[in-house]
Every structure is written in C-alpha cells, then in structure tokens.
Chain A
C-alpha cells in the first residue's frame, strides 16, 4: 500500500525537471515555430504572421539547396564509413587477440575529445597547399611516395564535404565499434559452435547468423549517426570556418540568425532540422520502449 504522502512527494521531486523540460524544450520549440512563421528580421522582435513564407523561400534558396546536398554527402560518407569501419574493428577485436583492451581504448579515444579539437588538428592535416608549402596528409603521402593520394581535401569542389566526413569518421567510428562489440559479446558462443559443427564457414556464420542478430545494433548506429549528421556544425566551423561550399543547415541557421538578424528564416531552418531529426528519432524511441516493455 503506497501512502498518498509518498505519491505527492515523488511527483514533487520530478516536477522541477518536468517544468524545465516543458519550458526549455517544448515551450521553446513552440516559440521557435512561432518565430519561423513571422517576418522578424532585425534587432526588435516582429511577430507579424507571414504563414509558411520563410519555409517556401528556403526551398527556392540556392544556399539551402547547397546545404541539403552537403548534408546528404556528409551523411552518406559518414554513416556508411563509421558503420563499416566500426563493424570491422569490432569483429577483429572480438577474436580474442592479446592486446584487445589496448586497441579498444585507442580506437575509442577520439570520442572523448571535442569536434573543435578534432577540427583544428584536421584543418592542418588536410591542408590543401601545394609545392613548398605542402603539409599534413599530403606531405606524408608525398614523403611515402604515395603522390597519387595527394588531394585538395575539403577544398575539393563539390565533394569537399566528404573530407569533413572523414574527420568525423575518425572521431565517431570508435563509437560504432563499441556498439558492435557489445552486441558481439552478447551472442552466445554455442551458437557459433553449432553453426560450425553444421559445416558453416566463418564468413557464412557472420553473414547468416551474426549480422541478423546484430541488426538492432545496426539500426541504432544508423539512427544515432544519421541524426548526428543532420546536426553537424562544430566540426565544419573548426576545419573551414563559414564557407559557402561547406555550408550546412546548422551553420546557415546560426549565420542568418545571429549575423544576419533574420530570425524568421533562422527559426524556419531550426524547425526543419527538428522535423528531420524527429522523423528518425520518434519511431526509434517508440520501438525501443516497446521492446523494453516486452521484456
């Protein structure tokens, strides 16, 4: 029998957090949407309703089209790269080799540092300068006789975002490795042995037994990395600053709002980002909580 006093008290304990989340997340989202439907441009708030004008103008805005294209390139390279690399590393580390903790610690350490630090260092590693001023990876390739690998990195026209994604893979692939490693460790050894007795090759075991069991892990990785791609911001700022060729929605939002004072458009970009994240994340939260309830 639960006492009423305890009931009220427990609700009282979470009330500050519920209010904070209610105001600072949902209230602020509502406020942002309201700004996105207004013509506010300038220092003083102007909530004159303009309907979806800010959204519509974004979709005929060449800069926003560049942003979408860049986000797609980044997402594709970053998500596929991190998942593949993370999976391969996890499988290698799951073979019971000596020194596994050392390698695991090493592959995961970039997760502990900020995108800003990563960006500042990679900015110099991916320095596109040529000839006498060559440095970074290009210099390393050149010294090793791998001149065909020398390239313009993030300053490559059209595909510069792929180079930014490379730095992001360096930072985040340890995370997918950790996810897969935890998944692999939870697979009972008997399962593999049984398959082996049935004559399955190592490759077949991974293809037909392990990968299907790990599909929830792959789904998590896909969604977490996918939503990180949509939000990418600091890394680009630290590598390249604000450049049109490497623009993404998060940077456009920041610039148009705080440098250009076009609050209406900034809020519209923010809301579109939120919608794109919500489409990924809401089903994921529902799926996870439903699975948990069934346990």
Chain B
C-alpha cells in the first residue's frame, strides 16, 4: 500500500464530530420507533417519549402486529410475484435491447425509459377504469390488479438496469456462443442468465423495495381486505383510536422487511439506487 499523503492524516479526525451529529439526526426517528415500541403501556407518555424504556415490554409490538399482520401478509403476497415477474421481463428486454437491436429499438428504449419518471396521477384514471371494467369481472381486482400495476410500471427501471448490464458485456461472448451453435434463446439461457445473477439481485431488491413502499397504486387499487401495509399503517395513524405508541411499533414492523434487505444486501441496494438515476 502506498502511503496516501493527505487522506489518512490525523488532522481529519475532527470530522467525526459532524459525522456523529449527523448520525444522531438520521437515527432519531429510528430511536423513537424502537424505544417507544419497547415501553409498556403504563410507561408510555408523550412527555417522556425521549426517555429509554425501563424494561423490555412487547405490548406495543404485540398490539401492532395483531392489527397489522393481515396487511403485512398482503404486502408479501403482492410484492414477491411483482418483483420476480418484472425482473424477468426486464432481463429479456434488456438482453434484446442491448444485443439484438431491432429496427426502431433506439426509439423504443427512450420511450420505455420515460415511463420510469411519469407521475402516476397522469395514468391513474384509466388504470382504475381498466381495473373496474376488465380485472374486476375476471375476479382479479385488489391484489392481482396491484401486482399487474407493479409489474407493468416496473418494466422501465428493470429494463434499464439489465440493458446497461448486458451492454457492458463484450460482443465476443455472444459471438463465441453462436459459433458453438447456440441460438438467440440459447445464448440467453446458457450464457447471459447465469452471469446476470448479481443484476437479478439488484433488480429484485429494487422492485421488492419500491412495491413494498408504494402507497399511491395501493390506495386506489385495493379495498380494505386487500390493503398492503402502507395503506393499513397510514389509516391506523389517521385514526384517533389507535395510540401513538402502537403506531410507532407498527411503523417499525412496516419498515422491517425492506430495512433487513437493505442491511443484508446494502451494496446491491446501492447499485439499484444509482441505476435509477440512469447511470448504469
């Protein structure tokens, strides 16, 4: 290792002061969620909300879980197929748009990309109309409609991520496979699919997180039996009946799945995040 002149000097240790202060700022909401959750019902009081709990009670979590469990389940049922299917479609699109450019592909790709940024208010009325006239008679309103929305409106970002990844692979890789007799699908199945597992992880995590955290589609496409967790939590917080301490515990439960994914697979999450700003 070469001795870096400026970047490791002791003179920079003062930076820990602003860094720690910022860390406290980012942790405050998390602190409140955790601390409040672990207080017993008797101990909960807005005036002592910043105090540490006297013991480790689970009252709030149990109460929040008993209220939110069905909606957490709805979210899982919705998010898993949505993430898998939109990732798979994105990988097919990315493969073709990177390696099998057909006539007009250069026009299609930016048109797909634009879909990533549109405000969904501009398609919401037709989407609800479509759900009511086509999905509902088929018995597919509620969660299936929500899954469909997440798959379709997820296509732009998943396509972008895979297309950028496949475009970065050398053409020789594909040429070599073709000389060996692989056809278009064979190249995908035997060459690209196996090496794009990391990209799949990136895209799956991204789609899981955005579908889990979505509120707008959920609130217009689902009724109260099919609500995902975001809608249920928001309604819980809006009602006067449920105490704030239970809301805090509920917030933590709602955040936990994506938070765990982030903590376990942070680097993949980061790559998805950067891909979303168009820089692959």
Contact = CB atoms under 8 A, between A and B. Distances in A.
Interface string B124-142: 1111111000000000000
Contacts of B279: 182, 220, 288
Interface stretch (B23-31, B53-61, B76-84, B196-204): B23-31
Nearest to B270: A178
Contact of B108 (A3, A18, A45): A18
Query: Helix, strand, loop or mixed for chain B's interface?
Result: helix
A113 interface: yes
Interface string A263-295: 100110111011001100110111011000000
A105 B263 contact: yes
A116 B233 contact: yes
A250 interface: yes
Contact of B28 (A3, A13, A125): A125
Interface in A1-60: 2-3, 5-7, 9-11, 13-14, 16-18, 20-21, 24-29, 31-32, 35, 45
A234 B47 contact: no
Query: Helix, strand, loop or mixed for chain A's interface?
Result: helix
Contact of A21 (B4, B25, B115): B115
Given A14-B97, A118-B29, A250 B16 contact: no
B212 interface: yes
B213 A116 contact: yes
Interface string A244-262: 0000011001100110000
Given A21-B155, A193-B5, A281 B114 contact: yes
Interface residues on A, range: 35 or more
Nearest to A121: B29
Contact of B216 (A96, A233, A249): A233
A89 B18 CA distance: 9
B121 A250 contact: yes
Interface string B162-185: 000000000000000000000111
B47 A134 contact: yes
Contacts of A221: 277
Contact of A121 (B32, B213, B216): B32
Interface in B17-73: 18-19, 22-23, 25-30, 32-33, 46-47, 49-50
Contacts of A198: none
A7 B220 CA distance: 40
A16 B89 CA distance: 9
A184 to B, nearest CB: 12
A116 B217 CA distance: 13
A92 B183 contact: no
Given A175-B273, A233-B216, 8 more contacts: A18-B112, A103-B23, A112-B269, A114-B214, A124-B244, A133-B46, A254-B220, A288-B279
